[in-house]
């Protein structure tokens, strides 16, 4: 067993780290305060091939592996969690399903523009009344001459306000239940009958847009259907398995930022005539944070390694996502505590990390759902 990155993986990580430290970290507080989409950063990420890391080069991507994806996403998320999720959604939730289920023609038309970073993609599964239970969705796609007509509303869609392309799930045959759901890949800007709904105000990841997508008799061409009719829910759930590795990496990145800042602050801050890092109570908190975050990173890398090696990873991705987000949330609570009053005010980034960390326990399947996925796998294979 090797606990070492290959030379290529190290190069990608170091490149992402340099880019994150020079171009992203200095802007993270401003992005959070103004809720601004980091357009110039996203453009540069496209040039660095960070928006389609595992997509083959012929389809505009970086042609790298999932370990490279994870190590670079950790670095980007450590600098700015909002930028991390913009990157993660484009890679895992948009590029992956088009790459996995699309035809060559669909990949040239719909994957190339987003993997190369020219445009952003988003993923529309959730609806107002269909969150943890996506099979209860109400958005429909009706077959008509030359294509499909879509009606319905998708909620909480990351990148929804800035994306040009979308992978969308809709009911094509109500009678067939979850086997009557299909997925579509759509150019939103060219779709008459599509409009942008509300863009949400949020607790954290404020520079990442979260929007409603509204479809009213929206016509999409025949080639918008991704894979076979009726395979949509299966495709969307497979996509989420990989997406969870991305969210685990995002959580690890936020956790690393928390630990680094807690260590630095505790060495500088003096009380009772000594740095607070000399107090055992503070040392124990740092030791727990570091140990849990290391374990989370290893779980995340294991899941990525399984995906690279075409082995099953549903359970391992759920474990990584659940554990990484839980320990990062714990680290965020302790991080604030280590900074005392200064942890609670906006002058220090700890307060932002605390708000950003929370979403990792919720999206791409809540951690309650992650526990159900893990248990289902345990019980199925025994």
Task: Give catalytic status of residue 364 as yes or no.
Answer: yes
Judged by CB under 6 A, does residue 368 bind ligand FAD? yes
**What is the rounded radius of gyration, in angstroms, for the C-alpha atoms of the chain?**
21
105/164 Cα distance (integer angstroms): 18
Judged by CB under 6 A, does residue 8 bind ligand FAD? no
Q: Please, what sign has the CA dihedral across residues 238, 244, 245, 247?
A: positive
111/310 Cα distance (integer angstroms): 21
CB of 25 to ligand FAD, least distance (A): 22
- The residues near 367 (Cβ < 8 Å, ≥ 6 apart) are 321, 322, 325, 326, 361
Nearest CA to 258 among 286, 300, 297?
286
173/229 Cα distance (integer angstroms): 9
CB of 290 to ligand FAD, least distance (A): 28
Strands 147-158, 140-144: pairing is antiparallel
Of residues 60 and 209, the one with the C-beta less far from ligand FAD? 209
Judged by CB under 6 A, does residue 48 bind ligand FAD? no
CB of 274 to ligand FAD, least distance (A): 41
Q: Which of 75, 127, 292, 364 is an active site residue?
A: 364
CB of 150 to ligand FAD, least distance (A): 15
251/199 Cα distance (integer angstroms): 24
Of residues 124 and 343, the one with the C-beta less far from ligand FAD? 124
Phi-psi category of residue 144: left, alpha or beta, with phi > 0 → left and psi -120 to 50 → alpha: beta
Of residues 28 and 322, the one with the C-beta less far from ligand FAD? 322
Binding mask 100-139 for ligand FAD (x = CB under 6 A): ----------------------xxxxx----xx-------
Is residue 50 within 8 A of residue 95, CB to CB? The reply is no
Of residues 110 and 363, the one with the C-beta less far from ligand FAD? 363
Site for ligand FAD (CB under 6 A): which residue of 110, 156, 165, 354? 156
262/22 Cα distance (integer angstroms): 21
CB of 93 to ligand FAD, least distance (A): 6
Site for ligand FAD (CB under 6 A): which residue of 9, 158, 161, 239? 158
Judged by CB under 6 A, does residue 89 bind ligand FAD? yes
Catalytic residues: 364
């Amino acid at each position: 067993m090797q606990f070492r990155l290959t030379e290529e993986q190290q190069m990608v990580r170091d490149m992402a780290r340099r880019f994150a430290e020079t171009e992203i970290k200095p802007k993270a507080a401003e992005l959070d305060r103004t809720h601004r989409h980091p357009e110039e950063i996203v453009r540069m990420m496209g040039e660095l091939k960070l928006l389609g890391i595992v997509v083959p080069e012929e389809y505009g991507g970086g042609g790298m592996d999932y370990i490279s994806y994870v190590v670079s996403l950790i670095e980007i998320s450590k600098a700015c969690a909002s930028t991390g999720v913009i990157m993660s959604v484009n890679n895992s939730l948009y590029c992956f399903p088009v790459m996995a289920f699309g035809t060559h023609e669909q990949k040239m038309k719909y994957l190339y523009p987003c993997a190369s970073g020219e445009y952003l993609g988003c993923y529309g599964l959730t609806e107002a009344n269909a969150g943890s239970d996506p099979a209860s969705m109400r958005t429909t796609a009706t077959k008509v001459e030359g294509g499909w007509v879509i009606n319905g509303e998708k909620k909480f869609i990351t990148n929804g306000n800035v994306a040009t392309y979308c992978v969308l799930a809709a009911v094509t045959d109500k009678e067939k239940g979850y086997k009557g759901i299909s997925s579509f890949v759509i150019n939103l800007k060219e779709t008459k009958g599509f409009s942008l709904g509300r863009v949400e105000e949020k607790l954290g990841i404020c520079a990442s847009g979260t929007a409603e997508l509204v479809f009213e008799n929206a016509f999409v061409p025949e080639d918008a259907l991704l894979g076979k009719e009726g395979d949509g829910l299966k495709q969307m759930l497979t996509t989420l398995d990989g997406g969870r590795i991305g969210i685990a990496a995002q959580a690890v990145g936020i956790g690393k930022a928390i630990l680094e800042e807690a260590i630095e602050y505790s060495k500088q801050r003096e009380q009772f005539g000594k740095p607070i890092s000399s107090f055992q109570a503070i040392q124990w908190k740092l030791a727990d944070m570091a140990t849990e975050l290391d374990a989370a990173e290893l779980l995340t890398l294991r899941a990525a390694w399984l995906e690279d090696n075409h082995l099953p990873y549903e359970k391992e991705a759920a474990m990584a996502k659940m554990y990484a987000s839980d320990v990062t949330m714990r680290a965020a609570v302790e991080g604030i505590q280590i900074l005392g009053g200064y942890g609670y005010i906006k002058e220090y980034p700890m307060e932002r990390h605390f708000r950003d960390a929370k979403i990792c326990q919720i999206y791409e399947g809540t951690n309650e759902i992650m526990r159900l996925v893990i248990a289902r796998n345990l019980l199925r294979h025994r």
